[in-house]
């Protein structure tokens, strides 16, 4: 019996608190997926995001990736530096606007993505299978939460 009697706290069940569950679920899924990037390809999540964006959108600047992929520009910048060091992307100055950096996949980076993207797609299908019939509603819910912001 810890205390005398104090005003009772409102009952609160963390397990039904959506922000918490959402956060833990995201962590688990990300971790599960990140293991593949890391162990098989030596990539971090920020690096993976940059690569995916390059693969689907051609050459882009750091700024574009920042906006498009929900990552701080410093995070993008550092991820890009490492990808460059690993020979997966190239960085050149944009001639039209010399403040901008033009990131582009190297042949090596392209080859890596050709291997990686199918794995990502397979994982996506696995998640859809796990969620079954409620997948559509779940995805819609995610979009709602994302759209409701700014």
Partner DNA sequence: GCAGTTTCGTTGCATGTGCAATGAAGTCAA
Partner DNA sequence: TTGACTTCATTGCACATGCAACGAAACTGC
Footprint on this chain of DNA (rule: CB under 7 A) = 44-46, 61-64, 66, 71-78, 80-81, 91, 97-101
Compute the distance between CA of residue 35 and CA of residue 42 in angstroms, rounded to an integer. Answer: 9
Cα 30 from chain centroid? 8
Rule CB under 8 A: say whether 56 interacts with a second copy.
Answer: yes
Compute the distance between CA of residue 136 and CA of residue 127 in angstroms, rounded to an integer. Answer: 12
* H or E element, residue 22: helix 18-36
Which x/- pattern over 66-105 shows residues binding a second copy (rule: CB under 8 A)?
Answer: ---xx---------------------------------x-
For a second copy, which residue of 27, 67, 72, 94 counts as binding (CB under 8 A)? 27
Q: Which residues of 116-149 are buried (b: 16+ CB within 10 A; e: fewer)?
A: beeeeeeeeeeeeeeeeeeeeeeeeeeeeeeeee
Per the CB < 8 A criterion, the answer to whether 102 and 59 are in contact is yes
**Residue 86: contacted member of DNA, a second copy, none (CB under 5 to 8 Å, by partner type):** none
For a second copy, the closer CB: 85 or 148: 148
**Residue 81: contacted member of DNA, a second copy, none (CB under 5 to 8 Å, by partner type):** DNA
Rule CB under 8 A: say whether 53 interacts with a second copy.
Answer: yes
For a second copy, which residue of 17, 35, 94, 108 counts as binding (CB under 8 A)? 17
For DNA, the closer CB: 91 or 108: 91
């Amino acid at each position: 019996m810890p205390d005398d009697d104090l005003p009772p706290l409102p009952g609160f069940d963390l397990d039904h608190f959506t922000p918490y569950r959402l956060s833990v679920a995201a962590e688990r899924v990300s971790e599960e997926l990140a293991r593949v990037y890391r162990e098989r390809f030596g990539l971090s999540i920020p690096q993976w995001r940059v690569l995916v964006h390059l693969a689907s959108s051609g050459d882009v600047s750091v700024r574009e990736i920042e906006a498009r992929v929900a990552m701080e520009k410093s995070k993008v910048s550092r991820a890009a530096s490492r990808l460059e060091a690993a020979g997966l992307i190239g960085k050149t100055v944009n001639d039209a606007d010399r403040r901008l950096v033009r990131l582009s996949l190297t042949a090596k980076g392209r080859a890596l993505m050709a291997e990686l993207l199918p794995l990502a797609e397979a994982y996506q299908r696995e998640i859809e299978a796990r969620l079954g019939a409620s997948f559509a509603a779940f995805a819609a819910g995610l979009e709602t939460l994302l759209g409701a912001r700014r």
